[in-house]
Structure 1
């Protein structure tokens, strides 16, 4: 069974998460250094600390509606606050006493956590799962107004790495990847989100 790890770029105050958006949402967010309309506060938004996982999901920013990659520095306090309210998207008997308990919690969850295989530079699955966190409309305002410290346009970096890959210059591409390390979590929090 794959182990679950949070791999991220982080410092003492912040953690970087990634999101892929169309220009209509991304450009105003970069300009204002915060999410503004047409970004919606009324639907779930998914944040991912793994750069390569998002590259796989957005096909290096080539998928329609995901052309721009944003690197969002958010407070570690906000990140851990979100995880403290999280419910897994799939039943895990090592986390929940019963399927019914999980189903009830999932129904009312403000935050969803999903584990998916981490990826290599070439998009192959690794035997480690990476986290993605779904913030519901009940918590998005905190993410936007309190937890977001900085929004950077990571699209030029993505294009550069992708071009190097297309040219077969994998070693050079690897050097440009954000430095991600295993993020330390308090045990109670780790248990809540099914880390093993």
Structure 2
């Protein structure tokens, strides 16, 4: 795997406990996001290094940069149809493009527009943005929020092929680490090394509600 790993307990000491943070492994060129699929879809993606075959370009696909939040959603790769866990090395410029074009998936008054305007934005947009409670390795809710991004139409076509640097199957690693969780041995748990992502674009940070202050 071309993912940097670090003990969960060591990272926990440095992570923010609450607020809106994009927790991810990234550098200037790329960011790692996670998805889970049936074995045939995952194997096609790894073999060909793009999404095709039975992967649907007609429905929205959701990407998640936070490893533990993905583990919460797929049950550490144990849920039916989510056994193949993929780490997608995505171009940083691509995630920025998605987020700049994203519309929140649910309405609240803090968005700065009327509900009618928001509904029109949702209809026209091909990118959804959603903040959900983050989770610990056992699946317990945290005060910190985790982001997921939904893509459709031209954005899913771009994502499926042009925006990807590398696709890795990390299913074996996930199963291995899940045993530590099942045995309540978090001292041994290794996960991808993650830190908060803040963009240089202050307006984008503001749109995303990102906490820009130190944590």
- Normalising by the residue count of structure 1, what TM-score does the alignment of the two structures yield? 0.94
Aligned pairs, number:
193
> Which structure 2 residue ranges, 5 or more long, are not aligned?
1-17
Report the alpha carbon displacement of residue 108 of structure 1 after superposing the two structures with TM: 1.2
Where 1:145 maps in the other structure, the secondary structure is helix
Superposed CA deviations along residues 75-127 of structure 1, whole A, max 9, x for unmatched, are 00000001010000111322232111111111111100011011111111111
Q: Does 1:150 align with 2:166?
A: yes
Check whether the contact 1:95–1:191 (CA below 8 A) recurs between aligned residues: no
Q: Which runs of 5+ in 1 are unaligned?
A: none
1:165, 1:3 → 2: CA distance? 25
- Report the CA distance between 1:56 and its aligned residue: 0.6
Give the distance between the partners of 1:101 and 1:59, measured in 2 at CA. Answer: 37
Give the structure 2 partner of residue 118 of structure 1.
Answer: 134
Q: Secondary structure at the match of 2:206?
A: helix
Scaled by the length of structure 2, the TM-score of the pair is 0.86
After TM superposition, the structure 1 = structure 2 runs for residues 36-115 of structure 1, keeping only pairs within 5 Å, are 36-115=52-131
Return structure 1 stretches of 4+ with deviation > 4 angstroms.
none
Task: Say whether 1:140 aligns with 2:120.
Answer: no
Specify which of 32, 36, 42 is matched with residue 20 of structure 1: 36
Q: How many angstroms apart in 2 are the aligned matches of 1:97 and 1:159?
A: 44
Q: Which residue in 2 is equivalent to 1:179?
A: 193
**Rounded Cα–Cα distance in structure 2 between residues aligned with 1:142 and 1:19:** 16
C-alpha distance in structure 1 between counterparts of 2:19 and 2:117, whole Å: 24
